[in-house]
Amino acid sequence: MNTFERFPERAMELASRVGDGIRDAVPGRAVKWVETGAALGALKSGTRVAGKFARRNPTLLVAAAAGAGLLWYAARRRARKQDGAGNAAIEGSSRRIEARRETSAARRRHARADANQTSDATPAG
């Protein structure tokens, strides 16, 4: 193998050794601060990019919000269906009432009662 062909491998090996050495030399608390700082920096820059995108493309933002809402609603319905909440039987008792034919006298009586109720309901004017 040529020396130039091994150069990238050696560079990567050296970089990993340096990184391990720094990580071992710096106390654990400092590494956490560095990681937290990096996370905050990424969050800040991501927020800035998202804000610019939202200002330039408000319709896409609204469409994305609507899509997220629809997905949430569909997931909620599916979860309810899997739980069996929609298929549960209603507990109670029932009694069958047989229909009877009304006589003509009963029909007249009901018609008079309906007419009296509607005439009582109309205001005197």
User: Which tens digits make up the pLDDT trace of 75-108?
Assistant: 999 988 887 655 666 778 888 888 777 777 777 8
What are the structural domain ranges in the chain? 1-80
Token pair 């601060």 is found at: 33
- φ, ψ at 39 (rounded to 5°): -65, -40
pLDDT at residue 125, rounded to an integer: 47
pLDDT at residue 4, rounded to an integer: 61
**In which band, very low, low, confident or very high, does the pLDDT at 73 lie, cut at 50, 70 and 90?**
very high
* More confidently predicted of 20 and 67: 67
Residue % of the chain over a pLDDT of 90:
10
> CA-to-CA distance for 110 and 79, rounded, in angstroms?
50
Mean pLDDT of the chain: 77
Q: One-letter amino acid identity for 98?
A: E
Residues 6 or more apart whose Cβ sits within 8 Å of residue 34: 26
Which residue from 10, 14, 12, 15 is spatially nearest to 1, judged by alpha carbons?
Answer: 10
**In which band, very low, low, confident or very high, does the pLDDT at 1 lie, cut at 50, 70 and 90?**
low
- Buried residues in 98-108 as b, exposed as e (16+ CB within 10 A): eeeeeeeeeee
